[in-house]
């Protein structure tokens, strides 16, 4: 865990992301080498997780859509 001592919820969102990443991508594939794994993980995060997968913690929109809304509001 990356949270500071005595605060187990400090980094809950990144730990949730790591769990999702493992379940939806890592455990479903066999990577030939480190470079192949790096490219596959990048494609999952940028191609699916940030652009198409909705997230309950940000109002059931994609991270990309949420970022666009925040920029428009500023």
List pLDDT tens digits, range 10-49. Answer: 677 788 889 999 999 999 999 999 999 999 999 999 998 8
Alpha helices (H) in 1-74, listed in sequence order: 12-24, 34-43, 63-73
pLDDT value, residue 24:
93
Dihedral sign from CA coordinates of 61, 65, 68, 22: positive
Distance CA 74, CA 67 (A): 11
Instruction: Work out the pLDDT band at 8, boundaries 50, 70, 90.
Output: low
- Answer yes or no: is 21 within a domain: yes
Number of folded domains in the chain? 1
- Answer yes or no: is 2 within a domain: no
pLDDT value, residue 7:
67
Range of the domain at 52: 12-73
């Amino acid at each position: 865990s990356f949270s500071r001592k005595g605060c187990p919820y400090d980094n809950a969102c990144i730990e949730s992301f790591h769990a999702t990443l493992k379940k939806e991508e890592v455990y479903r594939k066999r990577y030939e080498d480190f470079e192949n794994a790096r490219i596959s993980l990048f494609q999952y995060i940028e191609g699916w997780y940030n652009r198409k997968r909705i997230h309950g913690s940000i109002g059931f929109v994609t991270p990309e859509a949420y970022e666009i809304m925040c920029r428009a509001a500023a």
